[in-house]
Chain A
Amino acid sequence: MSHAEAHLDKLPPEPEKATLEGRNKVLGFWLFLGGETVLFGTLFATFLALRGSVLDGPTGSELFDLKLVAAATFILLTSSLTSVFAVQAMHHKNVKNLMIWLGVTVLLGFGFLGLEIYEFYHYVDVGHGFTTSAFSSSFYALVGFHGAHVALGVLWIGLLIIQLKVKGLNTITAPKIYVASLYWHFIDVVWVFIFTIVYLMGKVG
């Protein structure tokens, strides 16, 4: 048994909650997500207030291609699942699987971002820029903010994989991974609302 594995054996079953620092971090992050909820709530409210203000620009029902958005949704929801697998692997102290599942999550995140960038690029092409109308400003603010969260998440989890490689799984890295997975689920939930309120409701009219 190697040195690193011996160390893993001593790790408690839920290493993210083993130290007070870890528990603080997890609780603090839950609270932070509460604040993020208000942030996105305000963005949603703005979008709902302004989505009719299209001026000369295109409307949502002219723009949105549900097939593309459905694909993006599928990718993002899957990535939430893979991040669950990652935390499960962590609880089984299987560092290799943990890193693999985190890696898959990151790849799926990149896939989602790629589709979103393509989508935005296409919209700008057909005359739906950030400054076109109040509708477009609020659209890019909401969806773009979510996209920025995804991008940040991808970088963050990527960095965690490197940290895992260097430091291994311990009571300092475990809370970070747990918290990153919470963040990732949160982004996913927000996307479900975006899918419904922006795209589905926008398509209907």
Chain B
Amino acid sequence: MDWLTTVDHKKIGILYFAAGGFFFIVGGIEALLIRLQLMFPMGANGESWFLDGQTYNEIMTMHGTTMIFLAAMPLIFGLMNAVVPLQIGARDVAFPFLNSLGFWTFFFGGVLLNISWFTGTVPDIGWTAYAPLSGEEFSGTGSDYYAIGLQIAGIGTLVGGINFLVTIINMRAPGMTFMRMPLFTWTSFITSGIILFAFPALAVGLIYISFDRLFDANFFVTATGGNAVLWEHIFWIFGHPEVYILILPAFGAISEVLPTFARKRLFGYSSMVFATALIGFLSFMVWAHHMFTVGMGDIANALFGVATMLIAIPTGIKVFNWLFTIWGGNIQFTTAMLYATSFIPTFVMGGVTGVMLAIPPADFQFHDSYFVVAHFHYVIVGGIVLSLLAAVYYWWPKMFGRMLNETLGKWSFWLFFIGFHLTFFIQHFLGLWGMPRRVFTYLPNQGWDTANFVSTIGAFFMAAGVIVILINVIISIKGPKAPADPWDGRTLEWSIPSPSPEYNFKQLPLVRGLDAFWLEKMDGKKEMTPAEPLGPIHMPSPSILPFFMSLGLFIAGFGFMYRGYEFESMFINNLFGNNIIAISGLAITFVCMFLRSVYDDHGYHIEVEELQKEG
């Protein structure tokens, strides 16, 4: 019950971790099924050895959608919740209530999407849901699950983004100027800004799909004057920034882990901040590099190609800064550091193929081949997942108050790292040898058999790595208690106990420079100088409303999806057909909003005596 009503950002961070981790495993199982199917070519009589085409399309769609929206995003939000307020010396986030609402809408959106597995109509349109494939003519209710599930989850993302923007602007501790903010906070800040401008575009696109499908609108239906390429524009105006929404916090985490374990300050701090902001801006300028082959014309292709290559500049700045950070450092290869250092070359490889893809004439060759699959997995898994794992090992003690086992950590690292390159490196060549993506099977003896076999073996190595991580997590429940500062850290979160108390900082710290805690330690102090006397601390009260608001949207989603459906029972038919379900769902949400607005939440105070008792 506590978990359903919590508005504590640290607990919400843990909720995000649990849900995101769960969906990561679901998406991983889907990936294994994909790779199993592609392990062998089709038989002599043309039969598939494992899955049929429809099932494959469903698994592939759900894999991509799940990994991006239900695994990577929430894990990043989990980290932001766990770390950002601590790094800036804040007692709380700006909107604790909205924070919880953001989690629950994401969660119910994800559940809605995955319920499709049990109702027999799974999205089969790819994570990009291209029109007209996603229209009424070519796809069933699965596409409604996609559009409505993501719509609900997207609300949560937007709300979360605004929350972190305001938190970082308004709630920094005394002395914590913008140019003293740790890099992870900086990247979370820019990422939240990108979310704010990217997600509304997706929301509108998803509404169009729903309108086309449920209310016979004509946005993407070419027969009635609609424009299918319009969807591609809308999707990628959201979709390209989305990949930077994912990678920037990953960059941030790397920029925290490397200095800590190299015992040096981050090289080129201000250029890192500048590069982050520049990447955030450029991410909106390049969406059409996903559309070189739709016939935009040479001039548009050339412009978008060049714009894309420009991103290599700030990214290059970052890579060199990381290298200079570890250069000559006193390096400690903890598990977190292993992940962080292996991230650098892996990500660079993905970046290089990205620049290759940005050359329009070359892209005509690479497009929709396995080369693209290899590229985005190098950046998404090699970039985002490796750095998320670094971040998890690094901040786990702060979040849970327990240490993860280092030996197991190293095992999981090597399994995952070797498995990753085994899976995806060879896919570059598969692509160059002509294997198209999104196919569920292929003819034998075209020179693709061995490479596919190898790639699948690699996937199983990665799965083994993930299993070791799970074991590590489970045994850490009884593992050694974490000290406040297990890594001899540099930033504020390490100056308070692990796990951090509900009010974060008993007294707000006075920040005197970059790497605030390190500065104090270098001056021979053990803790931060407080910026205020000890006083009562105001806390927001827990609330169940966010849960019910999201539940209402979830119910309404079903109501809209099945409004035109023929059920066996007349009664159920009437409920859906007359929009009764849809309206009651929305009513639940609105009543909760009304209650929230009318009853003021005064919260409560933790009194000084209590704080002193805790020591």
Q: How far is the CB of B40 from chain A (nearest CB, A)?
A: 44
Residue pair B205, A35 in contact (C-beta under 8 Å): no
B227 at the interface (CB under 8 A from A): yes
B218 at the interface (CB under 8 A from A): yes
B94 is contacted by which of A28, A38, A46 (Cβ under 8 Å)?
Answer: A28
Fill in one digit per residue for A21-46: 1 if any B CB lies within 8 Å of its CB, else 0.
00110011001101110110011001
Residue pair A131, B225 in contact (C-beta under 8 Å): no
Residue pair B224, A42 in contact (C-beta under 8 Å): no
Fill in one digit per residue for B115-145: 1 if any A CB lies within 8 Å of its CB, else 0.
0000000000000000000000000000000
Residue pair B224, A134 in contact (C-beta under 8 Å): yes
Of B94, B158, B215, most A-chain CB atoms within 10 Å? B94
- Classify chain A: how many residues form its interface, as a range: 20 to 34
User: Which chain B residue has the least Cβ–Cβ distance from A57?
Assistant: B225
B248 at the interface (CB under 8 A from A): no
A88 at the interface (CB under 8 A from B): no
A20: chain B residues within 8 A (beta carbon): 170-171
Residue pair B200, A42 in contact (C-beta under 8 Å): yes
Number of interface residues of B (CB under 8 A): 39
A64 at the interface (CB under 8 A from B): no
User: Which chain A residue has the least Cβ–Cβ distance from B229?
Assistant: A49
Q: How far is the CB of A205 from chain B (nearest CB, A)?
A: 18
Fill in one digit per residue for B210-242: 1 if any A CB lies within 8 Å of its CB, else 0.
010001111101001111001000100100000
How many residue-residue contacts, CB under 8 A, span A and B? 105
A36: chain B residues within 8 A (beta carbon): 200
Residue pair B170, A23 in contact (C-beta under 8 Å): yes
Residue pair B200, A38 in contact (C-beta under 8 Å): yes
B592 at the interface (CB under 8 A from A): no
B94: chain A residues within 8 A (beta carbon): 24, 28
Cα-based distance from A38 to B158 in the complex (angstroms): 12
Residue pair A138, B199 in contact (C-beta under 8 Å): no
Of B94, B200, B211, B224, most A-chain CB atoms within 10 Å? B200
B203: chain A residues within 8 A (beta carbon): 39
Q: How far is the CB of B530 from chain A (nearest CB, A)?
A: 19
A133 at the interface (CB under 8 A from B): yes
Interface of B is mostly: helix
A55 at the interface (CB under 8 A from B): yes
Q: How far is the CB of A121 from chain B (nearest CB, A)?
A: 18
Cα-based distance from A27 to B224 in the complex (angstroms): 43
A172: chain B residues within 8 A (beta carbon): 600
Q: How far is the CB of A136 from chain B (nearest CB, A)?
A: 8
B201 at the interface (CB under 8 A from A): yes
Within 8 A of B (CB), among A105-136: 130-131, 133-136
Cα-based distance from A88 to B166 in the complex (angstroms): 26
User: Which chain B residue has the least Cβ–Cβ distance from A131?
Assistant: B216
A141 at the interface (CB under 8 A from B): yes
Of B163, B170, B205, most A-chain CB atoms within 10 Å? B170
A38 is contacted by which of B170, B171, B201, B225 (Cβ under 8 Å)?
Answer: B201
B600: chain A residues within 8 A (beta carbon): 167, 172
User: Which chain B residue has the least Cβ–Cβ distance from A54?
Assistant: B225
B198: chain A residues within 8 A (beta carbon): 38
Residue pair B219, A138 in contact (C-beta under 8 Å): yes
A23: chain B residues within 8 A (beta carbon): 170
A131: chain B residues within 8 A (beta carbon): 215-218, 224
B443 at the interface (CB under 8 A from A): no
B425 at the interface (CB under 8 A from A): no
B400 at the interface (CB under 8 A from A): no
A196 at the interface (CB under 8 A from B): no
**Given A27-B169, A50-B226: A159 touches B597 (CB 8 Å cut-off):** yes
**Given A133-B218, A134-B224: A46 touches B166 (CB 8 Å cut-off):** no
B598 at the interface (CB under 8 A from A): yes
Fill in one digit per residue for B519-546: 1 if any A CB lies within 8 Å of its CB, else 0.
0000000000000000000000000000
Residue pair A39, B204 in contact (C-beta under 8 Å): yes
B197 is contacted by which of A24, A34, A43, A136 (Cβ under 8 Å)?
Answer: A34
B211 is contacted by which of A28, A135, A141 (Cβ under 8 Å)?
Answer: A141
A61 at the interface (CB under 8 A from B): no
A181: chain B residues within 8 A (beta carbon): none
User: Which chain B residue has the least Cβ–Cβ distance from A163?
Assistant: B598
B225 is contacted by which of A32, A39, A55 (Cβ under 8 Å)?
Answer: A55
Cα-based distance from A23 to B158 in the complex (angstroms): 20
User: Which chain A residue has the least Cβ–Cβ distance from B594?
Assistant: A159
Residue pair B225, A134 in contact (C-beta under 8 Å): yes
Of B215, B218, B234, B598, most A-chain CB atoms within 10 Å? B218
**Given A31-B162, A32-B162, A163-B598: A50 touches B197 (CB 8 Å cut-off):** no
B487 at the interface (CB under 8 A from A): no
Cα-based distance from A93 to B600 in the complex (angstroms): 21
User: Which chain A residue has the least Cβ–Cβ distance from B600?
Assistant: A172
A134: chain B residues within 8 A (beta carbon): 218-219, 221, 224-227
B165 at the interface (CB under 8 A from A): yes
B558 at the interface (CB under 8 A from A): no
B50 at the interface (CB under 8 A from A): no
A49 is contacted by which of B170, B200, B230 (Cβ under 8 Å)?
Answer: B230
Cα-based distance from A55 to B219 in the complex (angstroms): 13
Cα-based distance from A36 to B162 in the complex (angstroms): 12
Cα-based distance from A34 to B598 in the complex (angstroms): 26
B196 at the interface (CB under 8 A from A): yes
B215 is contacted by which of A46, A49, A130 (Cβ under 8 Å)?
Answer: A130
Cα-based distance from A176 to B593 in the complex (angstroms): 14
Q: How far is the CB of A57 from chain B (nearest CB, A)?
A: 9
A39: chain B residues within 8 A (beta carbon): 200-201, 203-204
User: Which chain B residue has the least Cβ–Cβ distance from A160?
Assistant: B597
B442: chain A residues within 8 A (beta carbon): none
- 7 CB contacts below 8 A, A to B, read A24-B171, A27-B169, A35-B197, A38-B196, A38-B197, A53-B227, A135-B225
Residues of B within 8 A of A (CB): 94-95, 158, 162-163, 165-166, 169-171, 196-201, 203-205, 207-208, 211, 215-219, 221, 224-227, 230, 234, 237, 594, 597-598, 600
Closest 8 CB pairs of A and B: A53-B225, A134-B225, A39-B200, A137-B217, A38-B200, A42-B204, A24-B94, A134-B218
Given A32-B162, A133-B225, 11 new contacts (CB under 8 A): A24-B171, A35-B158, A38-B197, A38-B200, A42-B237, A53-B226, A55-B225, A131-B216, A134-B227, A137-B218, A176-B597
